[in-house]
Amino acid sequence: MTPIATDVDRPAAIRRALRDLVAERGFHGASMSAVAKEAGVAAGTAYVHYDSKEELVHATYLEVKADLAAAVLDVLDPDAPPEARYRTIVRAVYRHLREEPARARFLDQLEVSPYRAEAKRRLAEQGDPLGEQAAAADVAARLVDVPMEVIWVLAFGSLVRLVAAGVELSDTELERVADATWRAITTP
């Protein structure tokens, strides 16, 4: 039958298949057999690497978040002033998600699903560099006095949602969105 190719990262292929199927059809339509088929492996293979569907979901979430954080940190100048840093982050997040909108659609769906609470717990455990950026002292000093989650939703929740919904933004429009969310989260 199909030869076993040891030079491909099957766990990664399985995570990607889950991500793409959830993005396209929801958790509903992302059955383990569909995921296996999409990844080009047999039904049992996912269970060699993950104990359950739930474990696979959480691993996929952490990978998507880590990739996003890496894309942002890659272009971020930690010495730039707060507003410039913020704009850089917005641009980087938008472009990273836009490049593969399945990322945004997966994040958007997971973060409103019942997986949410456990996913957030594991993310905190792993450490979220992007979250720490937002809490940096020089930024925090300028933020509107509301719970941190409100800031987060206004700034990045909206951005993820826009990409997930397939809204196309020109460079000019993206700058306007960055302006808009910065106005929203900082005190006038």
Q: What is the C-alpha to C-alpha distance for residues 37 and 18, in angstroms, rounded to an integer?
A: 10
Q: Pull the structure tokens for residue 161.
A: 């949602």
CB closer to a copy of itself, 50 vs 94? 94
Name the amino acid, one letter, at 12: A
Q: How many residues bind a copy of itself (CB under 8 A)?
A: 38
Q: Is 177 in the site for a copy of itself (CB under 8 A)?
A: yes
Rounded to whole angstroms, how far apart are CA atoms 134 and 148? 9
Which C-beta is closer to DNA: that of 58 or that of 96? 58
- In whole angstroms, the minimum distance from the beta carbon of 61 to a copy of itself comes to 15
* Alpha helices for the chain (secondary structure H): 10-25, 32-39, 46-49, 53-75, 82-99, 101-110, 116-126, 129-134, 137-140, 148-152, 158-164, 171-185
Determine the interface stretch with a copy of itself among 64-72, 73-81, 95-103, 151-159 (rule: CB under 8 A).
151-159
Is the Cβ of residue 44 or residue 114 nearer to DNA in the bound state?
44
Say which entry of a copy of itself, DNA, none residue 184 contacts (CB below 5 to 8 A, set by partner kind): a copy of itself
The verdict on 108 binding a copy of itself (CB under 8 A) reads yes
